[in-house]
Structure 1
Amino acid sequence: MDEIIKLIHGDGGKHTSQLIEEIFYKNFQNKYLLDQGDAATFQLGNELISYTTDSFVVKPIFFRGGNIGKLAVCGTVNDLVVSGATPLYLSTGFIIEEGFERKKLEKIVETMRDMCTQANVSIVTGDTKVVEKGSLDEIVINTSGVGVNYSGYKKNKIDAGDKILITGGIGEHGTTIAVDRYHMKISGDYQSDCALLTPFLSVVNEYKEAIKCMRDPTRGGVATVLHEFMKTTEYGICLYEEEIPIKPSIRAVNKLLGFDPLYMACEGRMVLVVKREEADKVLRMLQSIESGKDTCIIGEFAQMEDKMIYSRNSFGGKRIIPELVSSILPRIC
């Protein structure tokens, strides 16, 4: 293990996993933590409760399609949604650098208020700290969230033939952050996909037996989520290359920067593994929701001699999708 913490340990890939396993899991291990979900789910009285927490360090803090406040609410609410829970209450903690502009803070907090209204959640407690100028880069926000799993949804064992769905175009948040951070003077419709996943709860509740597992592909992107899924099963994954929804402008910027959209963060998408027999029904239901109109089936789990993830094009060509091991873009959420 590295003797010091590096930026790559926060990218969400293999190095992040190693850090979590070798330090945090080793010291904090319990059945809820080791379940490795986006939220911990446990019985509290008669209710099945989900609880999650996240910290946000995005740079720049204002970007096309949102700001750090929008990320803070959406990120925590979405982690509850992909755990099958209806979000109810949030906490928030602010660490602010001395000299930060009051009007910026007001804008961030107003955005958080508006997103809470959309999600039908309340921020019920919080904390504020101010640190000396130069000891922090502007502002850091932590949000924690509690929700109730009314439907009793739980993850199920993945089988060969189960389909992989994504609820919209990939890589849009991470790519937008890169364009804004580096002040790239390029044309195109670049905007973060940062959004709430709460509209999809009705589908999750109705098809809880068909949906095997769900994640929101933030740090490390879709590829990282798929590797996390694959580690829980004996099967590999075949992706349908032409079916993966990537806007031409997103593809172009990633090619220019030497990045792969499969590893770029999304902040308003859901990846679902769905029972093969029910996949088309779930697809149509997700597509009937405005924010899910671009939902696609992008692959399936398959029996393989050497377990791996690969994408296959219409000409039969294959490309292996390895686990993320190199640094792509730090501080995207």
Structure 2
Amino acid sequence: MHGAGGAVFSDLLGKTLTKYKNNNAGGIGLESLDDGAVVPFGEQNIVFTTDSHVVRPLFFPGGDIGRIAVCGTANDLAMMGGKPVALSCAMIIEEGFDIDVLERIVSSMDSALDECGASIVTGDTKVVEKGSLDGIIINTAGIGAVKKPVRDNGLKPGDVIIVSGTIGDHGLCVITAREGFDLGEQIKSDVAPTWGLVESAMNAGEIHAMKDPTRGGFSNAINEMADKSGVQVRIYEEDLPIRRSVKSASELLGINPLDVANEGKVVMGVAKDDAEKILAAIKRHKYGKDAAIIGRVTEGKSVIMETSIGGERFIETPVGDPVPRVC
């Protein structure tokens, strides 16, 4: 649970991983706990991020560990408003790992890089003894360029909340594949690069905050945005885009689809006057067809769901992701 991105991880991060001064550097690094660090460089800013990938199974409907490794890092850059430029890749591989499987993974990474418009420019490979690792671990780091970074703590009362597509797809896809449920193509991962969609949205209007709802899902992302911004967010349950197949699988497994990871979605807080223009721009992108306005920002400090039957309930930060090893 400490690796699952929820409240338990936040406690570990605050009490252990960032308490030393050089792990918390000068207004550009970990102290903001954003999707990446912003490093001023002349008139530009460099966005820098890193991510490690341990998904199981390695291949699943709609994606694989290679595609996640590229998209996960490129999307973290995009959430800061940064165009992905270059990635590094380090692989730790278990002795005996099939070379043909490795080639499938690398080929998938190459296809994802084509979509991102970025390249892998440096890397490292290590091989460890059989039995000391579950196949393969991939670390990718990335840099991007941006003039005016977007943070996840910029929500303002009056803002509108937009989500770029259906929620819960990736997490439910991975758990059903892992547990051997044969659902055909009913549930597929949403793993995809989001920069093109984000760029279109930024050109259409004013975006105050962005976050990708990966580990801990939408619940974790929206709570983090609200808490850092010091605002209340009210979500409209009936407007949340969730596929019927995902709802059915989540009910079968007893999992809240708002708490599981997505790998190709964006949660945005945008200026009210620009919301419809931004939504239209997102919907024109191939990964944004199911985008929707799902809430608003008000004074206060919480995340509240306005339910479809006219009630209200809190959306809490999950303790951890209910589906481990999804990315």
TM-score by length of 2: 0.94
Tell me, in whole angstroms, the C-alpha distance in 1 between the residues paired with 2:183 and 2:190.
Answer: 19
Please, which of 189, 193, 196 is the counterpart of residue 192 of structure 1? 189
Residue in structure 2 matched with residue 322 of structure 1 by the alignment: 316
Please give the alpha-carbon distance, in whole angstroms, between the structure 2 residues aligned to 1:238 and 1:105: 45
1:326 offset after TM fit, Å? 4.8
Asked if 2 retains the 8 angstrom alpha-carbon contact of 1:97 and 1:138, the reply is yes
Q: How does 1:9-158 map to 2 (within 5 A)?
A: 9-27=2-20, 28-30=23-25, 31-32=27-28, 33-149=30-146, 151-155=147-151, 157-158=154-155
How far 1:66 moved relative to its partner? 0.8
In the other structure, the counterpart of 1:168 is 165
What secondary structure is seen at the aligned counterpart in 1 of 2:228? coil
Deviation at 1:289, TM superposition (A): 1.6
Contact 1:153 1:205 in 2 (8 A): no
Q: Is the 8 A contact 1:90 1:144 kept in 2?
A: yes
Gaps of 5+ in 2: none
Q: Is the 8 A contact 1:84 1:204 kept in 2?
A: no
Contact map agreement 1:13 1:324 (CA 8 A) in 2: yes
- Equivalent pairs: percent with the same residue? 39
CA distance in structure 2 between the partners assigned to 1:247 and 1:66 by the alignment: 18
Give the distance between the partners of 1:216 and 1:239, measured in 2 at CA: 17
Separation in structure 1 between the aligned mates of residue 77 and residue 230 of structure 2, nearest angstrom: 27
RMSD: 1.5
2:249 maps to which of 249, 253, 276: 253
The CA deviation at 1:192 is 0.2
Kindly provide the amino acid, as one letter, of the partner of residue 19 in structure 2: K
Q: How many residues align?
A: 322
Q: State the alpha-carbon separation in 1 of the partners of residues 141 and 127 from structure 2.
A: 20
Deviates more, 1:79-88 or 1:320-329: 320-329
Q: Which amino acid aligns with 2:112?
A: M
Matched, 1:206 2:213: no
Distance, in Å, in 1 between the alignment partners of 2:99 and 2:275 is 49
Between the aligned partners of 1:174 and 1:145, the Cα distance in structure 2 is 24
Whether the 8 Å CA contact 1:283–1:296 is kept in 2: the answer is: yes
Tell me how far 1:51 sits from its aligned partner.
0.7
Distance 1:248 1:201 in 2: 26
The separation in 1 between residues aligned to 2:5 and 2:202, in whole angstroms, is 29
- TM-score after normalising by structure 1: 0.93
TM-superposed deviation, 1:203: 2.3
* Pairing 1:242–2:238 present: yes
Q: Is 268-277 or 322-331 further displaced after alignment?
A: 322-331
| Aligned residue in 2 for 1:289 | 285
Q: Per-residue deviation at 1:302? A: 1.9
